[in-house]
A = this chain, B = another copy of it.
Amino acid sequence: MGNTFGKLFKITTFGESHGVALGVILEGCPAGLPIDEEKIRLEMQRRKPGQSKITTQRKEEDEIEVLSGVFEGKSTGTPIGIVIRNADQKSKDYSHIADKFRPSHADYTYFEKYGIRDYRGGGRSSARETAARVAAGAIAKQLLDHYGINLQAFVTQVGELKLEKPYQEMNLASAEDNIIRCPDPEMADKMIQLIDSVRLDRDTIGGVVTCVIQNTPAGIGEPVFDRLHAELGKAMLSINAVKGFEYGSGFEGVKMRGSDHNDTFVKEGDHIKTATNHSGGIQGGISNGEDIYFRVAFKPVATIMKDQDSVNESGESVTVSGKGRHDPCVVPRAVPIVEAMAALVIADYILLAKSNKL
């Protein structure tokens, strides 16, 4: 259980951090969609390790191989199988922790769940698994392109540094111009400096990724349990290191009065719009045509370069020493992952909506 996501546009992933390969099967992609493998590679580049000084230095080219489902440049409607081989899997880096439980990692819980442990780099629990999601998400994005929907994620917080400027006042695409992926250049610089200093401290720090989805048609969502924002929330919470999700007014909205919070409807030409958008583009779990936006909280990465107290499988006290190659802050590389998962949800729900009317 748990390795499949989606209902009609659906992915199933496999693979461990230091195994032979990762991979994904994407089912339900409608036939006839032009599939540009170059665009998949581009997304892989955005996620791959070693892309800048503020990310892990593990070297993975993350080359994808499309094994099925595409013929003469188009989707055939059959499952698309993609494999990504692991190259730089230095398993011996992990021999020193083979029987130790690293604090705030999944070592202990996987051991409790399965009674067995793949200690090589966290095995299946490693964020390396998200490479497979990004590959599939890159196809979801191409489907959204076809429907005119676009989405953009970007970093809005690192530690205490929080970007308060509304997203409407920035050029979101410019987030890709800096290594932290923040659309405000000044804030970007501060964030990079902060991460750099944290890295020199042999420590890590948390952050927030915001995502905006534009041009989703009204009427997308599957209440009562599969509300659009509930599925987006689950998608985000399924990403490694995520601790929270909020959309629209979110936790801040709690403080407001209904009379301020309500988004009144107005007519704009032929279109019905809302005057404000505290709803975050979703009402009753269904899109209303306005921008969908949400924020995702990432904790500080658990692997730090400092020694920590812990216990081993026998329950003895041990020291886990700081080794290996890891990210001081996960958010720059999390941006394409957030986009991939969001694209997968929207693509799935677009297809689901086709069956709502006669």
Chain B residue with the shortest CB-CB distance to A289: B112
Interface centre among A81, A255, A299 (most CB of B within 10 A): A81
Contact B248 A243 (CB under 8 A): yes
**Which of B21, B76, B159 sits near A123, CB closer than 8 Å?**
B76
Contact B78 A297 (CB under 8 A): no
**Which of B27, B203, B355 sits near A3, CB closer than 8 Å?**
B27
CB contacts under 8 Å to B, within A105-128, are 105-106, 108-110, 112-118, 120, 122-125
Given contacts A244-B244, A256-B206, A272-B311, contact A284 B106 (CB under 8 A): yes
A174 an interface residue at 8 Å Cβ cutoff? no
Given contacts A256-B206, A304-B262, contact A1 B20 (CB under 8 A): no
Contact B250 A225 (CB under 8 A): no
- Alpha-carbon distance between A188 and B30 when the two chains are bound, in angstroms: 46
**Which of B10, B12, B129, B263 sits near A27, CB closer than 8 Å?**
B12
Copies of this protein chain in the complex: 4
A99 to B: closest C-beta gap in Å: 13
Interface 0/1 of A94-106, CB less than 8 Å to B: 0000000101111
Contact A207 B254 (CB under 8 A): yes
- B contact residues around A278 at 8 Å (CB): 104, 299
A301 an interface residue at 8 Å Cβ cutoff? yes
CB contacts under 8 Å to B, within A304-358, are 304, 306, 308-311, 315-317, 351-358
A257 to B: closest C-beta gap in Å: 5
A299 to B: closest C-beta gap in Å: 5
Contact B225 A229 (CB under 8 A): no
Contact B125 A223 (CB under 8 A): yes
Give 29 pairs: A residue, B residue, CB < 8 Å, sorted on A: A1-B27, A4-B10, A14-B79, A23-B67, A23-B81, A31-B113, A32-B115, A32-B116, A76-B124, A83-B83, A103-B274, A104-B263, A108-B288, A109-B219, A110-B284, A110-B286, A113-B286, A125-B284, A129-B224, A198-B257, A203-B258, A227-B237, A230-B234, A238-B285, A245-B246, A253-B297, A258-B303, A259-B304, A278-B299
Contact B116 A79 (CB under 8 A): no
- B contact residues around A19 at 8 Å (CB): 67-68, 71
Interface centre among A74, A108, A267 (most CB of B within 10 A): A108
- B contact residues around A240 at 8 Å (CB): 284
- Alpha-carbon distance between A275 and B103 when the two chains are bound, in angstroms: 10
**Which of B31, B221, B258, B297 sits near A116, CB closer than 8 Å?**
B31
- Alpha-carbon distance between A256 and B297 when the two chains are bound, in angstroms: 12
A2-B226, A12-B25 are known; give 10 further A-B pairs, CB within 8 A.
A2-B27, A15-B81, A20-B67, A76-B123, A109-B288, A125-B285, A146-B358, A234-B237, A244-B244, A258-B303
Contact A225 B238 (CB under 8 A): yes
A56 an interface residue at 8 Å Cβ cutoff? no
